[in-house]
Structure 1
Amino acid sequence: MPVTVTRTTITTTSSSSGLGFPTTVGSPRALAQPLGLLRLLQLISTCVAFSLVASVGAWTGAMGNWSMFTWCFCFAVTLIILIVELGGLQARFPLSWRNFPITYACYAALFCLSASIIYPTTYVQFLSHGRSRDHAIAATTFSCIACLAYATEVAWTRARPGEITGYMATVPGLLKVLETFVACVIFAFISNPYLYQHQPALEWCVAVYSICFILAAVAILLNLGDCTNMLPVPFPSFLSGLALLSVLFYATALVIWPLYQFNEKYGGQPRRSMDISCSNRHAYYVCSWDRRLAVAILTAINLLAYVADLVYSARLVFVRV
């Protein structure tokens, strides 16, 4: 890989960027590169989104707070990334720069996607016509733009076949991000213990979500900290074992959760009309039956993600730079 070093600028042609042309870091010229311009778009769109909402105070309730947190968090971390790259401070950054930007971009894309769906469906539609509603709709639009910008960065910087790159830029690495994010959404839906504490089988499902989340998070943190060599077993073997265990665990949850939540024989409610909490429709509120259904769907999604993870992990030859 040819590298040219000048006084303050490092110009390198990197196959891992997925862009196919030189990138410049440690200089204001980095902002003129496609990836720099894309990150400026991310910064501006998230800034505009939370500014529009904050100017009219349109973020009441848990769902509104989540959306506001998402835009503020993404703005702050994107700003940090731009500062690091403009100053050429990658070597001093406490986390692996081969893995951190794409990991964050993937999380940010998922965060902004969730805000772009949750905010309008649980908040905006209940606002009366006026300035607040107009600002909220505009904020949703900029949230969608931010989501597309982060997703584009992931597509640009992910690993291509035959490239030498960090694990988080590979398909299994990105799947780890998806798995932990979906698990976090599941935790949000089961935040009320009433949904599972009445049945030991449902408590097992919650244990499955927690155990698999922790294992996937450990794999991500090991890569971000460049600590994979600290494991007592080879890292690829660790990943394959983790994926296999998670597939088996999630397969049991996929059967048990719907069975005990929607089958009358096991005390479930097969129809939404049977849930009294779903009789009234209010903003910022998701009734218990909808929460149960959402968890069942998300369990199936995560199981598919873990199956794909297992397939890729079993055949992936991970080469460290």
Structure 2
Amino acid sequence: MAQAEGGYYVPHSSWWPIIGSVGVTALVVGIAMWLEGMGASLWVTGIGAVITLIMVIGWFGDVVREGVKGLYSDQVDRSLRWGMIWFIFSEVMFFAAFFGALFYARVFSVPWLSGEDPATSRLLWDSMVLSWPTAGPGNVGMEFQPMGPWPLPTINTLILLTSGVTLTIAHHALKAGNRGRLVTYMWFTVALGLLFTGLQGYEYYEAYAHLNLRLDTGIYGSTFFMLTGFHGVHVVIGTLMLAVISLRCMKGHFSPDSHFGFEASAWYWHFVDVVWLGVFIFVYVL
């Protein structure tokens, strides 16, 4: 897989950016309509999702074909790496917002409303006593059980940590030129990602069916489902990325010296692992 010699590859003109803009806009507008209870929201959301999916498949397909043809120079490779680094940084900030909301609610809001600041407590919710986890003063009396770390969250933690190990083994196999070992451990990683998603789905069923823990269960329910839910979405996306990379490995798209597509997916998956450790400690354990 020869690389372009010198220069900087300039791709041909493409409609994918505008198509993606239309799809993402329709998707966001559809979700906003759904939150407002508007009737056509599911249609708008579905159309936006389909357009976005077509854009992702088409655009990434073009990038893969360009890479396989050897059109990318070392400078393009560096640009792709920096692009992935900034993308992951944006994801770090995304989750930092939700962890910040959890921290503020637990460390500041609950103590203030429970009398740590008498003036605030008397003004807003007189004689209110709260302790975490709580649904909040507006939902006093709402009976629910918090989700503990055992057994499903702990099992899922072990699954994700194991997936990080299998992915690392696959990476070393790729650099060693051992394609059979590479493909085997890549599919192991994909299977572990699917298992994590399945167990989290069962955890949500238990929360709704037996713990009365829902997205509308006040501040605890909202922070719990926003953090675990968005992380779950990232696991699904990462699993799809790894599945595509596994198929590309089977087709021989990567070499020991040129495999940024593999590395980008691996970076993303390890990021997902690290975020889960934070979720596990601050949402389930503490």
The structure that has the greater radius of gyration is 2
Class of the TM-score when normalised by the shorter of the 2 chains: 0.3 to 0.5
TM-score (norm 2): 0.33
